[in-house]
């Protein structure tokens, strides 16, 4: 899944093995220990201590489990994604509800993680 606007993007990857990865690309280098906060009508969550994934990227690995899938499902419901710390002044992504296409993507992702 990919969402982007104004030089900032979010890529969610779920491979057959390894962690789920949220990769945020930014127009400026991210802070050394970035965080990500999501808030929307379906809920909110945050991840502290992401790491660099390139000069203009931050990566946030998630375990392959139901809690991580829950975060992804909340994300697909739409809302805002902010990269922090807040004093860094980094862009905020406004994500629309993903609709039927996002639901199909999630079903594939869930099957990859849980086998169901």
Taking only the tens of pLDDT, the chain with its 116 residues reads 677 777 888 999 998 888 999 999 988 888 888 899 999 999 999 998 888 788 899 999 999 999 999 999 999 999 999 988 877 788 888 999 999 998 898 988 888 888 87
pLDDT given at position 115 = 83
pLDDT given at position 4 = 72
SS3 68: helix
Domain ranges of the chain: 2-114
pLDDT given at position 43 = 96
Q: Which residues contact 53 (CB under 8 A, 6 or more apart)?
A: 23, 59
2-114, which class in CATH?
mainly beta
The secondary element (H helix, E strand) that includes residue 93 is strand 92-95
Rounded Cα distance, 37 and 83, in Å: 6
The secondary element (H helix, E strand) that includes residue 71 is helix 66-76
| CA nearest to 93, candidates 38, 46, 23 | 38
Asked if 5 contacts 96 with a C-beta cutoff of 8 angstroms, the reply is: no
pLDDT given at position 1 = 67
Asked if 35 contacts 85 with a C-beta cutoff of 8 angstroms, the reply is: yes
């Amino acid at each position: 899944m990919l969402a982007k606007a104004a030089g900032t993007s979010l890529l969610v990857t779920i491979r057959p093995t390894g962690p789920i990865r949220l990769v945020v690309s930014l127009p400026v280098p991210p802070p050394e220990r970035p965080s990500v906060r999501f808030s929307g009508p379906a809920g909110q969550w945050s991840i502290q201590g992401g790491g660099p994934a390139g000069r203009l990227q931050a990566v946030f690995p998630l375990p392959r489990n139901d809690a991580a899938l829950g975060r992804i499902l909340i994300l697909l419901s739409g809302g805002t994604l902010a990269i922090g710390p807040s004093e860094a002044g980094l862009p905020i992504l406004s994500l629309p509800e993903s609709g039927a296409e996002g639901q199909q993507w999630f079903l594939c992702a869930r099957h990859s993680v849980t086998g169901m």
